[in-house]
Amino acid sequence: MLKGYLDAVTSSGHIEGWAYDSESPLSPLNVSIIAHDGRELGQGMACSFREDLLNAGHVAGWCAFRIKLTHSTTGILSFGLVVINQQAQPSLVLHQAVPYVVREEAPIRTIADLVTADPTQIGSLDQLRGFDSLFNAFIKAQGIDAFVRAAYLYLLHRPADASGHAAYKKYLRSKKVSPYGLLRAIADSGEYRSRPRQHFAPTNPAFPFRVG
User: How far apart, in whole angstroms, are the C-alpha atoms of residue 28 and residue 48?
Assistant: 9
Asked if residue 8 lies in contact with residue 99, where contact means CB atoms within 8 angstroms, the answer is yes
Query: What is the residue-level pLDDT of the chain in tens, covering all 212 positions?
Result: 999 999 999 999 999 999 999 988 888 999 999 998 899 999 999 999 999 999 999 989 999 999 999 988 888 989 999 999 766 788 999 999 999 999 877 776 766 666 666 778 898 899 999 999 999 999 999 999 999 999 999 999 999 999 999 999 999 999 999 999 999 999 999 999 998 888 999 999 999 998 86
Query: Are residues 164 and 69 part of one domain?
Result: no
Asked if residue 78 lies in contact with residue 36, where contact means CB atoms within 8 angstroms, the answer is yes
Query: Are residues 157 and 92 part of one domain?
Result: no
β strands within 85-193, DSSP E: 91-96, 100-101
Domain count, the chain: 2
Determine the Cα angle at 104 with ends 99 and 109, to 5°: 150
Query: Are residues 89 and 18 part of one domain?
Result: yes
CB proximity list for 85: less than 8 A, separation 6 or greater: 91
Query: Are residues 71 and 26 part of one domain?
Result: yes
Q: What is the span of the domain harbouring residue 14? A: 2-105
CATH code assigned at 12 = 2.60.40.10
Global pTM value: 0.86
Query: Are residues 68 and 93 part of one domain?
Result: yes
Query: Are residues 92 and 14 part of one domain?
Result: yes
Helix ranges (DSSP H) in 20-143? 51-56, 111-117, 132-142
Number of H helices, E strands in the chain: 7, 9
Nearest of 156, 158, 165 to residue 198 by alpha carbon: 156
Phi first, then psi: give them for residue 210, nearest 5 degrees. -70, 145
